[in-house]
């Protein structure tokens, strides 16, 4: 079988996943998430929700978000398409 042409990875690349990095000063609130290392936002959110639903922790971040901007740095993720009618992902979204 012939190798794929060089442009194939760009065409068939998976969507970029949203990532988070925990601020070291909040590491005590999230012992399962390594501070300062990029992890997927989905996996970090499941860790936090698992602790809350399992009643092993209280809601660690102020506000309604599972992963708040005070505790985490965010990067990546796909941009919304023009005309998006779904829910906004942040309270300051227009």
In this predicted model, what pLDDT tens digit does every residue of 13-31 receive, in sequence order? 455 788 999 999 999 998 8
Q: Is residue 4 part of a domain?
A: no
Q: Is residue 2 part of a domain?
A: no
Q: Domains in the chain: how many in total?
A: 1
Q: Is residue 48 part of a domain?
A: yes
CA-to-CA dists, residue 76 to 4, 13, 41, 47, 67, angstroms: 26, 14, 10, 20, 15
Radius of gyration of the chain (CA): 17
Contacts of 1 (CB under 8 A, 6+ apart): none
Q: Is residue 80 part of a domain?
A: no
Q: What are the pLDDT digits (tens) for 65-84?
A: 889 889 999 998 766 666 66
What is the residue range of 55's domain? 16-75
Q: Is residue 37 part of a domain?
A: yes
Query: Hey, what are 34's tokens?
Result: 């390594």
Report the alpha-carbon distance of residue 44 to residue 74 in Å, rounded: 12
Query: Hey, what are 86's tokens?
Result: 């779904």
Q: Is residue 45 part of a domain?
A: yes
Q: Is residue 88 part of a domain?
A: no
For the chain, what percent of residues have pLDDT higher than 90? 31
The reply to whether the predicted model has a pTM over 0.85 is: no
Q: Is residue 65 part of a domain?
A: yes
**Helices within the chain (DSSP H only):** 8-12, 41-53
């Amino acid at each position: 079988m012939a190798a794929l042409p060089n442009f194939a990875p760009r065409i068939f690349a998976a969507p970029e996943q949203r990532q988070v990095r925990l601020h070291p000063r909040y590491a005590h609130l999230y012992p399962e998430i390594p501070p300062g290392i990029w992890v997927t936002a989905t996996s970090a959110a499941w860790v936090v929700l698992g602790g809350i639903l399992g009643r092993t922790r209280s809601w660690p971040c102020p506000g309604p978000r599972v992963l708040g901007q005070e505790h985490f740095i965010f990067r990546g993720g796909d941009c919304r398409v023009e005309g998006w009618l779904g829910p906004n992902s942040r309270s300051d979204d227009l």
